[in-house]
Amino acid sequence: MPPIEIKPNVYWIGVNDRTTDLFEGLWPITQEGVSYNAYLIDDEKKAIIDLAKALKTDEFFGQIDQVTDISKLDYVVVNHMEPDHSGVLTTLRRIAPQVTILGTEKTRAMLASFYGITEGVQVVQDGETLSLGQHTLQFVYTPFVHWPETMVTYETGEQILFSCDAFGSYGAFRGAIFDDECIDPVFYEREALRYYVNIVAVFSRPVLKAIEKLASVPVSVIAPSHGLVWRKNPGHIVELYRKWAEYATGPTEAGVTLVYGSMYGNTEKMMNAVAQGISEEDVPVSIFDVTHTHVSYILPSLWTQRGVIVGAPTYEGSLFPPMVQVLEMAAVKKIQNKQAARFGSYGWSGGAQRHFEQLVEPLKWELAGSFEFVGSPTEEDLRHGEAFGAQFARLIKGDGETG
Ligand code: FEO
């Protein structure tokens, strides 16, 4: 994509990535893509804020060339060291050795450990300002949004917040980079939530601290390092992030994540009965088959919804392994304080329930009931499952108990 001027002499120069399958080598983006947004301020002193993954480097450096002579660059602001934003640094250093790299003290250490860069690095302090001529940058430390070295950069005249991972989302650009030009905001909001839960949610407390720290700063544009540039309504993405961060410890939405796995369809039959019971109570339910759905897509529902029902059979005396992987990732992502229940089939001895309880014990999930059935569910079993689902839904609505 060509450079896009977001304010006078401030340009988006990012990379639109539609070729990577797994973000961080872990999270699927084959269908959605992602952008690595970088920005160039063309002033008396010339600065790039954030870089990009080492991908499409000819295109990346070509964008800079379209605005200014790359040999005249003065600064690179490294808000965050993760290689999706710093990957082209070594190449940049080769073609523009005069550039001074700006970052926190922790960034300085990471530049050495990730890239062997020890020269031409200048540490900036929290709140420090730097004049480029007509534009002034202010650096604000925001540790653990996403890594410990992370900061954001604020351009004081145009009131642009270069927020790096904060307020970012998956989703490559579909022609428009601005919120007011985007014709499918639902896609980006969904992908912002998935990105938040996959990448940032463990650091929800630092996210809330950063939002609080920046609350008095007037912002006309939020320019994150992934996803839309927010200039029509920058407060919208901030409020979404605040809401999602508060879900880490506060109340969540009155809905149910019904996550199931089934070897031969018996647990799936019961899942349909349980879902029917939930629906009868008009409680929203999101259903995921763990054998067909990557956990990346399940985590947002687990994060935002109050109730979790796990449907999974016994497998060799333990819980069905694909379900184990989902619950283990939920533990990695610290998805806590849920109302939970489980059902599943077994062939002869069971064992899944005990394993399930071991897995969710550290998550502080409150277990509100369980039941198992042998082999294929009978009509009576299915009626029980439907009632079980309805009872759980009433609990989630706040007017019932399960057993
Ligand atoms: Fe987009 Fe934490 O890197």
CB of 104 shorter than 6 A to ligand 1: no
Q: Across residues 283-289, what is the average pLDDT?
A: 98
Q: How many A from CA of 23 to the centre of ligand 1?
A: 10
User: pLDDT (tens digit, 9 = 90+) per residue, 216-254?
Assistant: 999 999 999 999 999 999 999 999 999 999 999 999 999
Q: Could you tell me if 305 and 253 are in contact, meaning their C-beta atoms sit under 8 angstroms apart?
A: yes
Both tokens of 147, joined, read 């890594």
- Domains of the chain: which residue ranges? 4-246, 253-395
Predicted pLDDT at 309: 98
Coil, helix or strand for 296?
helix
CB of 56 shorter than 6 A to ligand 1: no
Q: How many A from CA of 83 to the centre of ligand 1?
A: 8
Both tokens of 85, joined, read 């934003």
Task: Round to whole Å and give the CA distance between 144 and 240.
Answer: 18
The secondary structure of 367-397 as a DSSP string is EEEEEEEESSPPHHHHHHHHHHHHHHHHHHH
Bridge partners (DSSP) listed for residue 305: 253
**CATH number of the 4-246 domain:** 3.60.15.10
CB of 142 shorter than 6 A to ligand 1: no
Q: Percent of the chain scored above 90 by pLDDT?
A: 98
Is the confidence at residue 403, as pLDDT, over 70? no
Q: How many A from CA of 389 to the centre of ligand 1?
A: 39
Query: Do the domains 4-246 and 253-395 sit in the same CATH topology, yes or no?
Result: no
Query: Is the pTM of the predicted complex or chain greater than 0.75?
Result: yes
Q: From the options 3.10.20.30, 3.40.50.360, 2.40.50.180, 3.20.20.70, give the CATH code of 253-395.
A: 3.40.50.360
Which residue's CA is the closest to the ligand 1 atom numbered 3?
82
Is the confidence at residue 399, as pLDDT, over 60? no
User: pLDDT (tens digit, 9 = 90+) per residue, 168-201?
Assistant: 999 999 999 999 999 999 999 999 999 999 999 9
Cα 231 from chain centroid (whole Å): 21
Is the confidence at residue 37, as pLDDT, over 90? yes
Torsion angle (degrees, nearest 10) of CA 151, 53, 47, 9: -110
User: pLDDT (tens digit, 9 = 90+) per residue, 248-267?
Assistant: 999 999 999 999 999 999 99
pLDDT tier at 105 (50, 70, 90 boundaries)?
very high
Q: Could you tell me if 132 and 48 are in contact, meaning their C-beta atoms sit under 8 angstroms apart?
A: no
Both tokens of 281, joined, read 């109570």
R_g of the chain computed on alpha carbons: 24
Which residue's CA is the closest to the ligand 1 atom numbered 1?
165
Q: Which atom of ligand 1 is nearest to the CA of 150?
A: 2
